[in-house]
């Protein structure tokens, strides 16, 4: 619980989690809303209030492909046949628990055709592969103006270790080498989407299912 402030102007206070600042705005003694680096959090209240912190999440876009490849400076860095092209976006507060949950979901997703033409097989059932590409633009914010903001995406010192850990985790789960791009490089992605089948996943679903 956080005590309501008596200030009538804009103030920054350290939140109950200790690491990020929350900005509270009051007008005429009434708390209107609070912001943090991730957006707006509305409150019900007067006096003592309950803080509903915005849940950040790791995000992935899966594309079922018959083939996919990544080139940097004209050289192929990763190439696969049938399987998944995975675009991965990381936020600052993502954890290894988020990463593990998402990796298992990717590997277990049953979207490949069976003998009856139904999406009933997982990656292992077709001996498929994964091409994993880092993609900070998955967190583009487009509400204001025409130039997207990527403030929600994790900085390289956070995102690179998480990207590398995702590679290792997927390799451990699948027992196969994961094809990759190069983090932060100007990558050219070529793919043949099979279906098309494209699935957006993020770890906020971990908290609701």
Three-point CA angle 36, 40, 45, nearest 5°: 105
Known catalytic membership, residue 137: yes
Give the end-to-end CA distance of the chain in Å, rounded to a whole number: 26
Residues 55 and 93 sit within 8 Å (Cβ to Cβ): no
Task: Give, in order, the Cα–Cα distances in Å from 125 to each of 11, 111, 114, 135, 208.
Answer: 56, 11, 9, 27, 28
Dist CA 154 CA 90 (whole Å): 6
Which tokens is 150 given?
A: 């990527």
Structure-block tokens of residue 195: 């279906």
What whole-number distance in Å separates Cα of residue 59 and Cα of residue 205?
10
Q: Among 66, 137, 142, 208, which one carries the catalytic annotation?
A: 137
DSSP label of 9: S
Q: Where are the alpha helices (DSSP H) in the chain?
A: 96-108, 156-174
Contact between residue 174 and residue 125 where contact means Cβ atoms under 8 Å apart:
no
**Active-site residue numbers?**
137
């Amino acid at each position: 619980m956080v005590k309501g402030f008596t200030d009538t102007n804009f103030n920054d206070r350290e939140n109950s989690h200790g690491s990020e600042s929350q900005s509270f705005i009051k007008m005429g003694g009434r708390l209107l809303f609070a912001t943090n680096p991730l957006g707006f959090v509305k409150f019900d209240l007067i006096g003592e209030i309950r803080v509903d912190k915005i849940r950040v999440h790791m995000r992935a876009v899966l594309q079922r492909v018959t083939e996919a490849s990544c080139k940097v400076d004209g050289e192929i860095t990763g190439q696969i046949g049938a399987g998944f092209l995975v675009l991965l976006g990381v936020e600052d507060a993502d954890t290894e628990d988020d990463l593990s949950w998402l990796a298992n979901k990717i590997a277990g997703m049953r979207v490949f055709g069976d003998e009856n033409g139904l999406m009933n097989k997982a990656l292992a059932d077709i001996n498929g592969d994964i091409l994993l590409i880092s993609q900070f633009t998955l967190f583009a914010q487009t509400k204001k103006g025409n130039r997207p903001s990527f403030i929600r995406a994790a900085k390289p010192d956070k995102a690179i270790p998480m990207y590398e850990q995702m590679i290792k985790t997927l390799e451990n789960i699948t027992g196969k080498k994961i094809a990759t791009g190069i983090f932060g490089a100007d990558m050219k992605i070529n793919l043949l989407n099979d279906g098309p089948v494209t699935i957006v996943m993020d770890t906020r679903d971990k908290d609701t299912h």
